[in-house]
Chain A
Amino acid sequence: MLYALSTVLVLAAEEAEETSNVGLVLPDPYELVAGIIAFAIVFFFVWKWAFPAIDKMLEDRQRAIKGQMEDAEATKAEAHSLLDDYRKQLADAKGEAAGIINEARSAAEAMKVDIVAKAQTEAEHITTKARQDAATERDRALASARVEVANLSIDLAERVVGENLDRSVQLGLVERYLADLDRMTE
């Protein structure tokens, strides 16, 4: 490789001796003019068209991003206020529900007390009536038993005596006796 490169250098050196290559490092006038014109075209295009185009685009982009961010901000604020509203509503609803439950509970309590009281009254009433009925029944049974005893006593006495007794007089007698008996047992 080095050998090859040195050959190139030697060749170049020989050529330099043979022909002058100064022209290679000096600008060629025609190329210079072409370069000036070509660069001028590029420069004016960049200056007058490309930069304004890119500036406009950047401004549009900036505006679009700004607009979107503002929109997002507004949406966010709206969402926040909605959330607050919902929270408030939820809290109200909870309070209301608690109120309803309490009311229902107290109503139920009152109803319970009422029912129990009524039941007690009813029970007392029934008991009283039963007691009265029992007393009435006993009195009636007692009265009936008294008549029966009197009749039996008279029948027995008639058989013992062997003749008919004045039933009404005898009944009065038994009655009196039983009344005395009552007085004694009381």
Chain B
Amino acid sequence: MVDQLILASECDVANEVICAPADVKELFELPTIFHIGELAITRTILLIFLAAFIVLAILYFGLRKGSVVPSKFQAVVESLVQFVRKDVAEDIIGPDGVKYAPYLTAMFLFLLVGNLFEVTPLVNFPITSRMAIPAFLAIVTYVIFVFVGFKKNGFRYLTDIIWPKSVPIGLRWLVGVIELFSTFILRPLTLAVRLFANLVAGHLMLTLLLGSGAIFIWNFADAGAKSLVGVAWFAFGLGIYLFEIVVAVLQAYIFTLLSAVYIQSSVHPEH
């Protein structure tokens, strides 16, 4: 919404082919809504709390009654929670997975809602297209799997990574270096960047395509025949919109799944 206003105010429909803001930051750094003392509360911060609130509301209203014979809504919420608990936490990590299930479930639901904000009408902004949440959750996962690795295996956790016994001796140092780099540096980085970049790209595409489409069609008096371009942008944007719904769900799942896989690799490093 805000993005489209920015685009509309800056767009020169007579000369441009697509409406883009002068500075791409404008699409991601949302305006301040109000101040609490010195603290500026931006729209993003409000959306972050809104996402948390929505997750709480879904869980609360879905599980409040706890009926033995569930309502449809209860069945959906139940299967969502059980999906992360059984199919992700327990199936991937093993019996120990129960311990990490609350973290993984909270992560999945929070990311799911945060991602779906991208395609939620009137919100239209994924909070995960800001680095804060992906980075924070990636760091938490990182801390968990490194901590668990050392706790379960002691110093052997590190030596098994640097000097992997299952690899032919000539290659061990090479695989060791790759593994060390991959486990301690690439894992958290890729985990965060994958989510962040996907949602940035999605938000950018949707804003530019749907925004440009709407503006060109709306200003057909100034744009003339170029309004047809707007129709094409809008149609393309709608296609991407459907695609982004899948991306939003998939990225929340992938982030959760990989977190579980990383934790599993620390619980049972031999696999």
Contact = CB atoms under 8 A, between A and B. Distances in A.
Given A3-B17, A32-B132, A39 B68 contact: no
- Contact-residue bracket for chain B: 35 or more
A45 B58 CA distance: 12
Contact of A35 (B103, B133, B208): B133
B109 A54 contact: no
Given A28-B130, A39-B52, A41-B52, A60 B68 contact: yes
Contacts of A130: none
Interface string A51-69: 1011011001100100000
B248 to A, nearest CB: 17
A7 interface: yes
Contacts of A73: none
Interface string B63-76: 11011100000000
B94 interface: no
Given A7-B18, A11-B20, A50 B52 contact: no
Interface of B: 16-18, 20, 22-25, 28-29, 39-40, 42, 44-45, 48-49, 51-52, 55-56, 59-60, 63-64, 66-68, 78, 81-82, 85, 101-103, 105-107, 109-110, 127, 130-133, 135-137, 196, 200, 208, 232-233, 236
Contacts of A23: 25, 29
A35 B63 contact: no
B3 to A, nearest CB: 14
A27 B56 contact: no
Contacts of B105: 46, 50-51
- A-B pairs with the 3 shortest C-beta distances? A38-B52, A31-B132, A47-B102
A42 interface: yes
Nearest to B232: A1
Interface in A12-59: 12, 15, 18-19, 21, 23-28, 30-32, 34-39, 41-43, 45-47, 49-51, 53-54, 56-57
Contact of B132 (A11, A19, A27, A57): A27
B243 to A, nearest CB: 15
Interface residues of A, number: 42
A43 B102 contact: yes
A42 B66 contact: no
A49 B28 CA distance: 34
B17 A4 contact: yes
Given A8-B20, A8-B208, A51-B101, A56 B132 contact: no
A3 B52 CA distance: 41
